Structure 1
Amino acid sequence: MKTIKQLFAILAVLVVSFTIIQGQPAIAHAATDDSLAAIQKRGKLVMATSPDYPPYEFQTNQKGKSKVVGMDVSIAKQIAKDLHVKLVIKSMTFDSLLVALETGKADMVMAGMNPTPERRQSVDFSDIYYVGGQDFLVNKDEASKYPNQKSLANQKVGAQTGTLQYNLAKKHIPGVTVKGMDKGADLILALKTHKLVAVGMEKPAAEAYVKNDPSLVAISSTYNLDENSSGSAIAFRKGSDSLVTAVNKSLKDIKQDNLIHKVYLKDAGKYMKVNTANTSMGHYWTYFAKGVQYTLIIAAVSGVIGVVLGVLLALMRLSKVKVFKWLSVSYIEFVRGTPLMVQVLFVYFGVGVIVNLPALISGIIAVSLNSGAYIAEIIRGGIDSVSKGQDEAAQSLGLSRSDIMKSVILPQALKNIWPALGNEFISLIKESSIVSIIGVTDLIYQLNIVRADTYRGVMPVFIAMVLYFIMTFGLTRILNHFEGRMQHD
């Protein structure tokens, strides 16, 4: 009965918190539209994008440094110039973009996004700035087998999750099984390993892959589409009328001067040629090095915070004070009962509505809070494993409860739990990869950038796998060294 009451109490707190968080932006928008004035006042325009979709947006390696480029980036720079502000680009996965917009992490989203009726219910859109059309990518050796859209009936077709291409394939191809993935590079890898027979993409992106990968060919779709929902547009928070008006003015000038075809697409093509001129993994070593650096920082800081939080929660759970015990049990059960990915998203987007936390800080907080719950149970088990005779002997010597815990119980418990604690530290290195979904440049994030830039699906994955093994194996040897010393003490 107590457990049920605790569960309902936790859910009630979450519902109230979520209502407060969700209500704040709505109130702000209802009062007045200061979207343009706010941007001009702070002097920067924040654009969220998923830079894995050439030629719209992708990353290029310039003298060892990563830079987001592409047609959409060029358009955004012109818009920022017209507004007399600086452009700031935030990178994250495609399915997180609109969430970032709605929670105030970005002022606009540009990602070759189509203004579908479903999306228009949640966000505002600019005028259409580009209509590229729809294609399918198929393997060249299967081009005769799948020459057109009709031949894809009853087959497995891939598309990026949450995109127009995903919904179109599901709706218009008879008997199709649509496989959604977050990254275009993952879809291409699945296609080339024959897990898919085709991948739906916008025509410019499909053409970019074909130009840089001779094993692929593009076939045109036969969708009968309305340009108002199938073209590319810029997304804004609901009620951003003044900002949308200003951006539409810039887009009108861009289209009148035909800058997209005359300049922006050509510039994107030049960057793509630079990327594919040298696709060796050695050329991208700085990407992997940066990914390892961020992965180790997240794991190390989260590990330290997790241990401190874990000790506190374990002591609270063993406390005779019912409130402390209830809080500890509630926290541990809730954290262990929800996925780490959801926790990362909530800290970054949910808490971020109240406090605008950077992606790296949000990732560290989420991983730390998650790790603390598991470490708490490890420490509690270690404390329980210490013989009660040790406690009684310490009491007979006149030691206080705090001295007994600090000098007698915890040192012995640490010796007992060291292997389990070591496993948690090793898991932190691997689990920290989930923060890539909010744009933290850890090893997984950098891996996906290299795959998108080089059009190579397998080798970057292999390199990342080796690097993870080196990190975890090295930590294992260090932990074993200290475990051996404990055994001899």
Structure 2
Amino acid sequence: MKSPLIWLFAWLLCLGGLAAHPVQAAGDDSLAQIKAKGTLVMGNSPNYPPYEFTVNENGKEKIVGMDIALGKQIAADLGVRLVIKKMSFDSLLVALETGKVDMILSGFSPTPERKAHVDFSANYYVSKQYLIVNKADKGYYQDRHSFSGKKVGAVLGSTAATLVKQQMPGADLTTMENAADLVLALKAHKIDTIVKDSASAIAYAQSDSSLAAMDGKFEVSADEAGNAIALPKGATSLTAAVNKTIAKVQKQDLFNKVYLKDAGKAIAQTNATKSMWHYWPYFAKGVLYTVGISLVAVVIGTLLGALIAFVRLGHLAWLRALATAYVTFVRGTPLMVQVMFIYFGIGMFYDISAVVAGTLAVGLNSAAYVSEVFRGGIDSIAKGQSEAARSLGLSQKDTMRYVVLPQALANIWPALGNEFISLIKETSIVSIIGVADLIYQLRVVQADTYSGVLPITIAMVLYFILTFGLSRLLHHFEKRLHHAA
């Protein structure tokens, strides 16, 4: 089940965008639209082996797995090119409802709650729900009934999380967005077990000798046990075409004969190259995205923040009220919600990329805080300074430019520097919409290597290098500003 915040967010977006995305009638043209544009956009969260995960192929990230193979087959049957759009699992449903993707193929179960918002294909794969435990503890547990009073982990928004609530009374549910985080928590004894799809649970156990997988003996309905493809509400022609491919794949038994074996080979190959050095291109790409987003966001935040500060110090009441409302609203809402609103909300009317949406959201958020820094710095300059400058014949513009601003900038530089440093760390939130920043790459490496602590350590060191280098640079300019003053 999705979190209440995500459901509320999705409902508001859909309510506001009904005109842009009307419910399709029975004779819809969803299939024709896919063929006309020549691409099939597939929403996916590639951290769920063997269904979807990434491998390092010649230094480049490649998404593989059973779901990816099925997605390619569907696109081939439709005569179009498959485009995989990566994002966090908890953002997939919103992406489909707002038109950012054409379908969700990411280990999705057709639960009644989800059916109220989207349509589903026929089940393409059916599996059980397993328990992952530390191998040393395997003898203490039999099935799901053994965990009363224990901490049980599940991926946020997954069928497993719902089953824990329904069929494991007395268990303390812990949900996380990423399966690798749950495995890390299990190995650190922060939780006692993880509930996961059997294929994924077995893959984790085979890849880590300290873990074991066992049948949880859950009572699961056909919908909850099966994985299906989520499609837009009313997209009957597209759903029929997808079902045709699924029937062909099942008739040929491609999952067992081909897809599962190929996924197993990819996992085995990944296990043979678990060295973190093998993944340096991933971390390098993450640093590049993080620095790039931060630099552009700093420019947006500084220019817009300064403009808002001057507006709030001006004499036009309606502009002051508008600027004040902007600052109050932005500072009163989480950055994560702002990122999702810009990406999914604007995406209902204009196709904005995840990188642009994330950068814009971070920049607009920073502007609200930078404006307060500028406003406080200008207010800190004694009014006598301005009065003396005006008495010497300087205009109001020249007074601000040559007298007030240089002194204010020297005063606010430390606070401004802190905002810039915080901005580098805050960019990590854009990973929820699939931007390949440092946090996103950390998740990819965790999923690839089944290693939890080492990728986190590397990312932490890289963030420290970035922030420490920036702090030294800002300190250098601060000394020069005070020297000039």
Question: Is TM (by shorter chain) over 0.5?
Answer: yes
2:240 is aligned with 1:241? no
2:279 is aligned with 1:291? no
2:276 is aligned with 1:306? no
Deviation at 1:360, TM superposition (A): 0.3
CA RMSD in angstroms comes to 1.4
Q: Deviations over 1:249-281 (max 9, x none)?
A: 011111111111111111111111111111111
For 2:371 and 2:94, how far apart are their aligned partners in 1?
A: 32
2:398 is aligned with 1:403? yes
Corresponding residue for 1:180? 175
Q: 1:18 to 1:178 in 2, by over 3 A?
A: closer
Letter in 2 for 1:34: D
Mapping of residues 56-455 of structure 1, within 5 Å = 56-455=51-450
For 2:63 and 2:189, how far apart are their aligned partners in 1?
A: 30
Mapping of residues 12-91 of structure 1, within 5 Å = 21-27=16-22, 29=24, 33-91=28-86
Contact 1:181 1:187 in 2 (8 A): yes
Contact 1:47 1:88 in 2 (8 A): yes
User: 1:23 aligns to what SS in structure 2?
Assistant: coil
Letter in 1 for 2:352: L
For 1:102 and 1:25, how far apart are their aligned partners in 2?
A: 12
Corresponding residue for 2:6? none
Deviation at 1:228, TM superposition (A): 2.9
Deviation at 1:237, TM superposition (A): 1.1
Unaligned runs of 5+ in 2: 1-8
Contact 1:126 1:235 in 2 (8 A): yes
Q: Deviations over 1:24-79 (max 9, x none)?
A: 34426359622111110010000011000000000000011000110000000000
Moved more, 81-90 or 264-273: 264-273
| Residue 483 (structure 1) aligned to one of 478, 481, 484 | 478
User: 2:139 aligns to what SS in structure 1?
Assistant: coil
Unaligned runs of 5+ in 1: 1-13
For 1:122 and 1:181, how far apart are their aligned partners in 2?
A: 23
Letter in 2 for 1:176: A
Deviation at 1:19, TM superposition (A): 7.5
Deviation at 1:148, TM superposition (A): 2.1
2:452 is aligned with 1:457? yes
For 2:207 and 2:115, how far apart are their aligned partners in 1?
A: 34
For 2:206 and 2:327, how far apart are their aligned partners in 1?
A: 52
For 1:429 and 1:218, how far apart are their aligned partners in 2?
A: 39
Contact 2:23 2:234 in 1 (8 A): no
For 1:227 and 1:46, how far apart are their aligned partners in 2?
A: 27
Contact 1:115 1:233 in 2 (8 A): yes
Corresponding residue for 1:4? none
Q: 1:84 to 1:19 in 2, by over 3 A?
A: closer
| TM-score normalised to structure 2 length | 0.96
For 2:388 and 2:41, how far apart are their aligned partners in 1?
A: 63
Contact 1:116 1:230 in 2 (8 A): no
What percent of counterpart residues are identical? 54
Q: 1:112 to 1:425 in 2, by over 3 A?
A: same
User: 1:157 aligns to what SS in structure 2?
Assistant: strand
Letter in 1 for 2:459: A
Contact 2:56 2:62 in 1 (8 A): yes
Say how many residue pairs are matched: 474
For 2:243 and 2:15, how far apart are their aligned partners in 1?
A: 33
Contact 2:121 2:228 in 1 (8 A): yes
Contact 1:135 1:218 in 2 (8 A): yes
Q: Deviations over 1:150-200 (max 9, x none)?
A: 211221100000111001011111201111100000000010001111000
Letter in 1 for 2:423: L
Moved more, 45-54 or 141-150: 141-150
Deviation at 1:436, TM superposition (A): 0.3
User: 1:178 aligns to what SS in structure 2?
Assistant: strand
Moved more, 20-29 or 198-207: 20-29
